[in-house]
Amino acid sequence: MFLHNYIYRLKCLIRDKETVFWTMIFPLVLATLFYMAFSNIANFEGFSPVKVGIVDNQELQENTNFLRALASVSGETAAADDRELFIISYVSRAEAEALLQSNKISGYIYIEEDINLVVKHTGINQSIIKGFLDDFKQTTSTVMTIVSRNPMVDQGLLINTIAERREYLKEQPIGMENPDPMVVYFYSLIAMACLYGGFWGMKEVTAIQANQSPQGARISLAPAHKMKLFLASMLAATTIQMGIISVLLLYMSFVLKISFGGRLSYIILICLVGTITGVTFGTFISSVVKRGEGLKIGILIGVTQILSFLAGMMYDKMKYIVNTKAPILGILNPINLIADSFYALYYYDSYNKFFTNIAYLCGFIIGFSIITYMVLRRQKYGSI
Amino acid sequence: MVITVKNLVKRYDDLIALDHFNFEVKEGEIFGLLGPNGSGKTTAINCILSLLKYDKGTIEIYGKPMSPDAYDLKRNIGIIMQNVAVFEELNVYENIDYFCGMYITDKKLRRQLVEEAIDFVGLRDFRKFYPKKLSGGLLRRLNIACGIAHKPKLIILDEPTVAVDPQSRNNILEGIQRLNKEGATIVYTSHYMEEVEEICTRIAIMDKGRIIATGTNDELKGMINSGEKLTVEVLKLEHGILEGVRGLPNVVSAEFYDNLLIVKSTKGKNNLVALLDYLKTKNISVGKIYSEPPTLNDVFLEITGKELRDQL
Q: What is the least distance, in Å, from the CA of B173 to any CA of chain A?
A: 22
* Residues in Cβ contact with A381 at an 8 Å cutoff, skipping those fewer than 6 apart: A210, A211, B51, B52, B53
Distances (CA, A) of B173 to A14, B77, B186, B199, B231: 36, 19, 12, 7, 30
* Chain B residues near residue A225 by CB distance under 8 angstroms: 71
Partner-chain residue, chosen from B46, B77, B146, that has the shortest CB–CB distance to A384: B46
Alpha-carbon distance of B253 to B261, in angstroms, equals 10
Interface contact B69, partner A, CB < 8 A: yes
Element (H, E) at B169: helix B166-181
- Cβ count within 10 A of residue B55: 12
* Chain B residues near residue A381 by CB distance under 8 angstroms: 51-53
Residue A175 exposure: Cα atoms within 13 Å on the Cβ side: 19
Alpha-carbon distance of B17 to B13, in angstroms, equals 10
Which one, of B126, B197, B196, lies nearest residue B161 by Cα?
B196
Element (H, E) at B31: strand B30-34
Residue B88 has pLDDT above 80, yes or no: yes
Look at the alpha carbons of A71, A77, A83, A87 in this order and tell me if their dihedral is positive or negative: positive
Partner-chain residue, chosen from A13, A222, A384, that has the shortest CB–CB distance to B74: A222
Which one, of A136, A189, A193, A259, lies nearest residue A19 by Cα?
A193
What amino acid occupies position A202?
Answer: M
What amino acid occupies position B290?
Answer: Y
Q: Break chain B down into helix, strand, coil percent, rounded to 5.
A: 35, 30, 35
Look at the alpha carbons of B266, B270, B276, B279 in this order and tell me if their dihedral is positive or negative: negative
- State whether A381 and B52 contact (CB < 8 Å): yes
- Cβ count within 10 A of residue A327: 10
* Chain B residues near residue A221 by CB distance under 8 angstroms: 49, 51, 74, 77, 79
Interface contact A11, partner B, CB < 8 A: yes
Helix (H, G, I), strand (E, B) or coil at A204: helix
Specify the pairing of strand B185-190 against strand B251-257: unpaired
What are the φ/ψ torsions at residue B287 (nearest 5 degrees)?
A: -100, -115
* Residues in Cβ contact with B29 at an 8 Å cutoff, skipping those fewer than 6 apart: B180, B185, B186, B201, B202
**Sorting pLDDT into bands at 50, 70 and 90, what band is B312?**
very low
Specify the pairing of strand B154-158 against strand B185-190: parallel
* Chain A residues near residue B84 by CB distance under 8 angstroms: 214
Question: What stretch(es) of chain B map to CATH 3.30.70.100?
Answer: 225-293
- State whether A380 and B101 contact (CB < 8 Å): no
Alpha-carbon distance of A301 to A159, in angstroms, equals 64
Distances (CA, A) of A300 to A205, A271, A308, B153: 14, 19, 12, 44
What amino acid occupies position B250?
Answer: N
Question: What stretch(es) of chain B map to CATH 3.40.50.300?
Answer: 3-221
- State whether B87 and A12 contact (CB < 8 Å): yes
- What percent of chain B clears pLDDT 90, i.e. is strictly above it? 67
The interface residues of chain A toward chain B in range 14-43, judged by CB-CB distance below 8 A, are 15-16
User: Where exactly are the structural domains of chain A?
Assistant: 2-41+180-376, 48-163
Look at the alpha carbons of B267, B269, B272, B276 in this order and tell me if their dihedral is positive or negative: negative
Q: With contact defined as beta carbons under 8 Å apart, do B261 and B232 qualify? A: yes
* Chain A residues near residue B49 by CB distance under 8 angstroms: 221
Q: With contact defined as beta carbons under 8 Å apart, do B212 and B203 qualify? A: no
Class of residue B59 by CB neighbours under 10 A (exposed 0-12, middle 13-18, buried 19+): buried
Q: Which of A107-111, A369-373, B77-81, B220-224 has the least mean pLDDT?
A: B220-224
Virtual torsion, Cα B114, B115, B119, B120, nearest 10 deg: -30
Helix (H, G, I), strand (E, B) or coil at B228: strand
CATH 3.30.67.10 fits A48-163, yes or no: no
Q: What is the least distance, in Å, from the CA of A190 to any CA of chain B?
A: 27
What amino acid occupies position B174?
Answer: E
Q: What is the least distance, in Å, from the CA of A201 to any CA of chain B?
A: 16
CATH superfamily of B3-221: P-loop containing nucleotide triphosphate hydrolases (3.40.50.300)
Per-residue model confidence as pLDDT tens for chain A (384 residues): 899 999 999 999 999 999 999 999 999 999 999 898 877 665 555 567 899 999 998 888 888 888 888 888 887 776 666 678 888 999 999 999 999 999 999 999 999 888 899 999 888 888 989 998 888 888 888 888 888 888 777 766 776 676 666 666 666 655 555 666 678 788 888 999 999 999 999 999 999 888 889 999 999 999 998 889 999 999 999 999 999 999 999 999 999 988 887 778 898 999 999 999 999 999 999 998 877 888 999 999 999 999 989 888 788 788 888 888 888 888 999 999 998 898 888 888 788 889 999 999 999 999 999 999 888 887 677 777
Residue of B102, B113, B142, B187 to mutate when probing chain A, most A C-beta within 10 A: B102
* Chain B residues near residue A230 by CB distance under 8 angstroms: none
| Average pLDDT of the segment spanning B36-45 | 92
Distances (CA, A) of A313 to A177, A184, A192, B256: 21, 7, 9, 80
What are the φ/ψ torsions at residue B154 (nearest 5 degrees)?
A: -120, 125
Alpha helices in chain A (DSSP H): 2-14, 17-20, 26-45, 58-62, 64-72, 75-80, 93-101, 124-149, 155-163, 183-195, 198-208, 214-220, 226-250, 264-288, 293-310, 317-325, 327-331, 334-347, 352-376
User: Quick one: closest CA in A to B10, which residue?
Assistant: A382
- State whether A1 and B105 contact (CB < 8 Å): yes
CATH number of the B225-293 domain: 3.30.70.100
User: Quick one: closest CA in A to B70, which residue?
Assistant: A223
- State whether A4 and B101 contact (CB < 8 Å): yes
Which one, of A1, A9, A3, A7, lies nearest residue A207 by Cα?
A9
* Residues in Cβ contact with A339 at an 8 Å cutoff, skipping those fewer than 6 apart: A184, A187, A188, A190, A191, A311, A312, A313, A319
Alpha-carbon distance of A181 to A316, in angstroms, equals 7
Element (H, E) at B15: strand B15-25
User: Quick one: closest CA in B to A229, which residue?
Assistant: B102
Interface contact A7, partner B, CB < 8 A: no
User: Quick one: closest CA in A to B89, which residue?
Assistant: A12
Interface contact B98, partner A, CB < 8 A: yes
- Cβ count within 10 A of residue A180: 15
Partner-chain residue, chosen from B53, B94, B102, that has the shortest CB–CB distance to A11: B94
Partner-chain residue, chosen from A11, A16, A214, that has the shortest CB–CB distance to B81: A214
Q: What would the pLDDT profile of B139-184 be if each residue is shown by its tens digit?
A: 999 999 999 999 999 999 999 988 788 888 898 899 999 999 999 9
Q: With contact defined as beta carbons under 8 Å apart, do B248 and B301 qualify? A: no
Q: What would the pLDDT profile of B91-131 be if each residue is shown by its tens digit?
A: 999 999 999 999 999 999 999 999 999 999 999 999 999 99
